[in-house]
Amino acid sequence: MISIDELNRILQTKFKNQEIEKIVIDEAFNRVITEDIYSNIAVPPYNKSNMDGFAVNEKSDEYMMIDEVHAGDNRDLKIEGNECTWVATGAKLPEGTNYIVPVEYLGIETEEMASYIIKNQNKIILNLNEDENHILKNSYLSNDPFEENHIVKKGIDIDEGQLLLKKGTKINERNIGLLASAGIKELNVYKLPKVGIISTGDELKLINDVNSKTIGNTVKKAGCEPKFLGVSKDDFEELRELVKTALNEYDVVITSGGVSRGKKDFTKRVIEDLGGVLVHRAKIKPGMPILLGEALDENNCNKPLICMPGNVTSCVIIAEVVVYPFLKSLMHESMDKHIKQFKISEELYSQFDRTVYMPVRIEDGVAYPTFEGSNMIKSVAYADGLVEITDDKKYNKNELVDVWML
């Protein structure tokens, strides 16, 4: 039998996802880009004002105001000599602007500006001495109106031609701002794997199917959409047809049940018939009977088959430690386990040379094992995480253990 790490390596090495689709950036949350993205524009696209005030070309005490520029005004203006224009915060600056003189240096408020202009017939006189306290009420203004230029330079946020995001970056709520800012509307991203789920077992006529629901939610947790394809009886032909059809429509086919060695365990025979077995049984507890296969679909594309144990808790654990990382790998995402440390409430050790995944519930900083049997859902339903116990490890009661939070 192979280890669970080796099993995951086989699965993730054998099957890769290079399928690409183009989407609009509004749909790009949590998607991974397939190529480097550069900006075609500079941000801001022009020099702009950081203050309400006057754009001036050279230092002076007195200016002639030749125009007004508000945010959203795209005209190409020009100033020279002692000409100035009114510029609102964020406004595009006229060519020749070397300083913004904040409106406070007139000794007035922004609101008083219009009447001041009319009264002074467009003559702007800096009021540096008359009412110093008034001018300097904003602590960030010095007595020298030219000390700081208050100009936000074109391209200071994003340069034209700049690399914005590297291939393999996942779009989030922060880096989408770069794309929006640079005016990027569409992106190439890796397609999400489509996952088809099949349950097997005659007993599902009498008891409720649990595995398709837990597997389905693990698929959703990974960020993919699961599709439940139905229940097969313990019947070779019926299961074979379901799996064969699923292979043509889905990138990953997951079954549960029928992977032991009993006479009604048809799954392995179906895999052998449709393709081949990659792995049967791994050194893991619970979930040892895990079966991995491969088969060609009608387009000769080789597809992975993950055949989960029928026991409900084994199925949940294999979904967490095999299916979830595999889907993340197909999505080109790193598997960033969230590990927290807690005291363990009782002694824990691995068994039979297998890696044990012990489900634990966290309460008041203590991790309590919840496992009571792999065929009972209560063994994992209330767990918050898993403790991984490799073959040679033993944890004493009250020892700090790493818990992989689910």
Residue 42 near its own copies by CB under 8 A: no
Tokens of 235: 């019947």
Site for its own copies in 134-193 (CB under 8 A): 152, 156-158, 171-183
**Could you say which of 7, 253, 274, 312 contacts its own copies (CB under 8 A)?**
312
| Secondary structure class of 152 (helix, strand, coil) | strand
Site for its own copies in 73-132 (CB under 8 A): 74, 88-92, 110-111
Site for its own copies in 185-244 (CB under 8 A): 201-210, 212-218, 220-221, 228, 233-234
Question: Closest approach of Cβ 90 to its own copies, in Å?
Answer: 5
Cα separation, 281 vs 292, in Å, equals 9
By rule CB under 8 A, what count of residues binds its own copies?
Answer: 78
Residue number, 34 or 200, with CB nearest to its own copies: 200
Residue given tokens 């795209």 in the structure block: 74
Site map 259..298 versus its own copies, x via CB under 8 A: ---xxx----------------------------------
**Could you say which of 381, 391, 402, 404 contacts its own copies (CB under 8 A)?**
381
The one segment of 55-63, 270-278, 280-288, 372-380 that binds its own copies by CB under 8 A: 372-380
**Could you say which of 33, 344, 383, 403 contacts its own copies (CB under 8 A)?**
383
Residue number, 146 or 324, with CB nearest to its own copies: 324
Closest CA to 399 of 358, 342, 357: 342
Summarize the chain as % helix, strand, coil (round to 5). Answer: 25, 30, 45
Question: Closest approach of Cβ 217 to its own copies, in Å?
Answer: 4
Residue given tokens 């698929």 in the structure block: 219
Residue 71 near its own copies by CB under 8 A: yes
Question: Closest approach of Cβ 204 to its own copies, in Å?
Answer: 8
Residue number, 274 or 284, with CB nearest to its own copies: 284
In order, the DSSP letters of 41-101 are S-BSSS-EESSSEEEESS--SEEEEEEEE-TT-----B--TTEEEEE-TTPBPPBT--EEE
Q: Are 92 and 152 in contact (CB under 8 A)?
A: no
Residue number, 71 or 400, with CB nearest to its own copies: 71
Residue number, 22 or 263, with CB nearest to its own copies: 263
Cα separation, 66 vs 127, in Å, equals 19
Residue number, 84 or 158, with CB nearest to its own copies: 158
Burial 98-127 (b: 16+ CB within 10 A, else e): ebbbbbbbbbbebeebeebbeeeeeebebb
CA distances from 146 to 61, 103, 105, 206 (A): 11, 13, 11, 85
Cα separation, 53 vs 58, in Å, equals 15
Question: Closest approach of Cβ 85 to its own copies, in Å?
Answer: 16
Question: Closest approach of Cβ 202 to its own copies, in Å?
Answer: 3
Question: Closest approach of Cβ 305 to its own copies, in Å?
Answer: 20
The one segment of 26-34, 77-85, 270-278, 281-289 that binds its own copies by CB under 8 A: 26-34
Cα separation, 244 vs 223, in Å, equals 25
**Could you say which of 2, 10, 23, 25 contacts its own copies (CB under 8 A)?**
25
Q: What are phi and psi of 205, to 5 degrees?
A: -75, -25
Sign of CA dihedral 260, 2, 255, 309: positive
Question: Closest approach of Cβ 375 to its own copies, in Å?
Answer: 7
Residue number, 294 or 384, with CB nearest to its own copies: 384
| Secondary structure class of 360 (helix, strand, coil) | strand
CA atoms within 13 A on the CB side of 251: 18
The one segment of 128-136, 142-150, 286-294, 312-320 that binds its own copies by CB under 8 A: 312-320
DSSP lists the bridge partners of residue 279 as: 292
Residue number, 18 or 262, with CB nearest to its own copies: 262
Query: What length is written for the chain?
Result: 406
Residue number, 210 or 274, with CB nearest to its own copies: 210
Tokens of 297: 């679909």
Cα separation, 380 vs 320, in Å, equals 11
Question: Closest approach of Cβ 283 to its own copies, in Å?
Answer: 17
Residue 335 near its own copies by CB under 8 A: no
Question: Closest approach of Cβ 18 to its own copies, in Å?
Answer: 26
